A and B are shown apart, each in its own frame.
Chain A
């Protein structure tokens, strides 16, 4: 069954190194409109670096990244314009501390896209409503919990109406009870058909949200596939071992005593 959806992001033979440390080594990836890709892999395997390259935040040493057939190059003149199509959310909820919540969400639409202020605010309010935080409209970031901040960060990225969302372990720094409220927002976006590349360690979320799972290690895609197969029956030994680290085996064989 051939996928008919158009390819929005094409990564060809991407190589990225820090000095002698080759972090991404000739990686190829195609992302189609509406696709949700989950990237998993051990810590330090280059997941964050991959997302940062896609966003032109890292200088690359080889290959190319094409977004709608436009080359992403951190040093090129039109990089700011390309980045508007990419909504990035980092692990640390990095709201602008000197701006209120609504100002955080509307700053870029107003100064970058030059949208009329009233329109940007109306849209910002709709987005805050959507992430359940309209009542925090005039608060400052420091008044919000981690989970709330992260939901605002998502709203702030969505306000630019990006084609692709890039999410880098957005719940890794959160207290466990706040993880759900953030991931629910993402599941909602996936349902709507938003194209996303998601790095996460939340395996049950990955399974629920992904159209395709990519297992990254040693700078390569070691295995990729649909979540149903990948999580239940991984093809490679490395993926099996990695998934195994998320499981626990009972210490005692009899947990119920007579």
Chain B
């Protein structure tokens, strides 16, 4: 392996990592917001929005991110007549894909909270909104931490298709360098290392949080 070349490539990979992190961070935050809103809609079965939400969840969970991004980046501008910036497209694409998964995580958490919790909160005079905010949602979130972490890792991995809409992410840089210098092994090793740098902390943090919730305030 040509370690000298690897050192030379480092700055390019580092730059790409920041791009991935920037898009990933916003995309994940967006996915949590979308997931929460969609989960509330499906939980309360709000008419019309409920059907739309179910359709959205199925659509986004059952199509590849690559195709979702192509649609947003290449097809939508033709229909609407306005282009969308590649980075914004990446963030939105990730948020929409993640939203569908996060919605399912929130939903299963909400369903896992015992109905008696809602009834006791109601009987203490809380409104439905207060019951959700103070009693049900905090428990639902703790119950779904594992699946949130799994989703976040999944989304970070999915960022590897961003190069398809010409975003200079890790994959883009690796492919570019391989095309230029044929240092395939070196580039792929760097690619793996940088993905690990991004994902491992999330994975470890997830385990810590989960354990804390399990042994700390929660569970029996």
Interface residues of A, Cβ cutoff 8 Å to B: 55, 57, 80-81, 83-84, 86-88, 90, 92, 94, 96-98, 107-108, 111-113, 140, 142, 153, 156-157, 160
Contacts and interface: CB of A to CB of B under 8 A. Distances in A.
A156 B135 CA distance: 14
Contact of A92 (B116, B121, B126): B116
A96 B133 CA distance: 13
Interface in B106-154: 114, 116-117, 119-127, 130, 134-135, 138-139, 142
Nearest to A166: B123
A198 to B, nearest CB: 16
Contact of B117 (A88, A96, A108, A112): A96
B218 interface: yes
Contacts of B135: 96
B62 interface: no
20 contacts: A55-B123, A57-B123, A80-B125, A83-B122, A83-B123, A88-B120, A90-B116, A96-B120, A96-B121, A96-B139, A97-B218, A97-B220, A98-B218, A108-B125, A111-B130, A111-B134, A140-B217, A142-B219, A157-B124, A160-B125
Contacts of B124: 83-84, 107-108, 112, 156-157, 160
B138 A94 contact: no
B124 to A, nearest CB: 4
* Interface size, B (range): 20 to 34
Give the dominant DSSP class at B's interface.
Answer: helix
Contact of A88 (B114, B123, B126): B123
A98 B121 CA distance: 13
A112 B123 CA distance: 11
B116 A94 contact: yes
Contacts of A111: 126, 130, 134
A194 to B, nearest CB: 17
Given A57-B119, A80-B122, 7 more contacts: A83-B125, A96-B117, A96-B121, A97-B220, A111-B134, A153-B120, A156-B124
